[in-house]
């Protein structure tokens, strides 16, 4: 089977769909792979590495995807790119939230089957294909570094000839993959860390990393949906949660928010009143910025100062660590390809418990 790996063209995107390590495994399995020139360069992978892995290098998008049964990307295709994909082939990439209707229409016109990686179901068999989890690891780590760089103080306690410096206080909202990685990173850097999640089961994970819990009756505000994800709280639960967070953040130096509800706008957990009560110079890193933000005033892709508090709304943090983000993403994609390739052919069945939910239709 022939597989293509185009170069990403979205601004600030440094990742690549497959890294040389994964390409070598596909070639060893009897497949052929075409990689667009310099596709991996932004993430630290050269064309020579791809050639050594057994790939061929193509000069442009059209030449890369020509004859491919499957095209592996990170960001969604444009309408023009969709029109260049081979009829009847498959596209494996992210789709939400930036995939465009005109691109989907072009894919349908070409009978290209779109498999959205963010739709990988949360089941045991699919864990090794879960790009949301692998990329959230990078986001949680990077969020702490981003916040630490913006703070006017250091994170760890330091004993110096000029006296002792008190450790910074870090609060992480949401204990999914990104939140737990943020807690672990802040702890490694020496901060005093506390955490919160609307899922009571997450409390044990927060405590296991050496953080403390924000004081709140978890049973009263619990909001757990299908697959263990958080779901929207009731109006009263949200008010109770906002009230507890308002009281807690007034003593914090750095707050990292990661709360998200699949397919919906991010819940507002840090109100303007809460921000007003925070210390001057404190920082909020809102990882939910791309879906509306967990803090009032968050602007995706910008840093704004509200009541003396810096609110950072990062977008596409995984691309700031393109090498490792691409490695993990590529391994997810490779595992998925191995799942759907049978006897050298791509077999996509709607009845399959992994493939079916990933299919995007008009």
Q: How many other CB atoms are there within 10 angstroms of residue 135's CB atom?
A: 26
Structure tokens at 115: 């498999």
Q: Is the peptide bond before 68 cis (omega within 30 degrees of 0)?
A: no
Give the separation between CA 24 and CA 10, rounded to whole angstroms.
Answer: 26
Q: What is the largest CA-CA distance in the chain?
A: 71
Instruction: Please list the active-site residues.
Output: 122, 127, 130, 133, 229
User: Exposed, middle or buried, 338 (CB in 10 Å: 0-12/13-18/19+)?
Assistant: middle
**How far is the CA of 225 from the CAs of 6, 198, 222, 293, in angstroms?**
36, 11, 10, 20
Q: Residue 22: which of 43, 42, 37, 5 has the closest Cα?
A: 5
């Amino acid at each position: 089977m022939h597989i293509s790996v185009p170069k990403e063209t979205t601004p600030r995107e440094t990742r690549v769909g497959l890294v040389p390590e994964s390409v070598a495994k596909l070639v060893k399995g009897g497949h052929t792979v075409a990689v667009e020139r310099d596709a991996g360069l932004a993430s630290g992978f050269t064309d020579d590495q791809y050639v050594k892995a057994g790939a061929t290098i193509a000069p442009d998008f059209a030449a890369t995807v020509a004859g491919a049964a499957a095209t592996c990307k990170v960001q969604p295709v444009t309408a023009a790119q969709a029109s260049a994909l081979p009829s009847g082939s498959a596209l494996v990439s992210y789709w939400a939230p930036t995939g465009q209707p005109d691109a989907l229409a072009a894919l349908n016109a070409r009978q290209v089957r779109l498999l959205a990686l963010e739709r990988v179901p949360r089941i045991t068999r699919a864990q090794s294909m879960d790009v949301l989890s692998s990329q959230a690891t990078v986001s949680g780590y990077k969020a702490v570094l981003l916040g630490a760089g913006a703070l006017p103080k250091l994170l760890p306690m330091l004993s110096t000839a000029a006296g002792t410096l008190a450790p910074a206080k870090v609060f992480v909202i949401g204990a999914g993959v990104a939140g737990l990685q943020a807690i672990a990173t802040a702890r490694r850097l020496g901060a005093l860390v506390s955490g919160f999640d609307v899922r009571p089961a997450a409390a044990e994970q927060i405590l296991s990393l050496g953080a403390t819990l924000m004081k709140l009756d978890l049973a009263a505000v619990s909001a757990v949906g299908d697959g263990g994800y958080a779901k929207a709280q009731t109006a009263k639960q949200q008010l109770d949660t906002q009230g507890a967070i308002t009281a807690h953040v007034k003593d914090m130096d750095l707050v990292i928010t990661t709360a998200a509800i699949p397919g919906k706008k991010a819940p507002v957990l840090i109100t303007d009143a809460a921000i007003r009560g925070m210390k001057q110079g404190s920082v909020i890193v809102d990882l939910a910025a791309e879906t509306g933000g967990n803090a009032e005033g968050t602007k995706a892709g910008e840093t704004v100062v509200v009541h003396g508090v810096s609110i950072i709304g990062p977008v596409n943090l995984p691309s700031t660590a393109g090498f490792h983000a691409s490695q993990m993403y590529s391994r997810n994609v490779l595992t998925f390809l191995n799942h759907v390739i049978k006897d050298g052919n791509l077999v996509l069945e709607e009845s399959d418990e992994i493939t079916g939910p990933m299919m995007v239709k008009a």
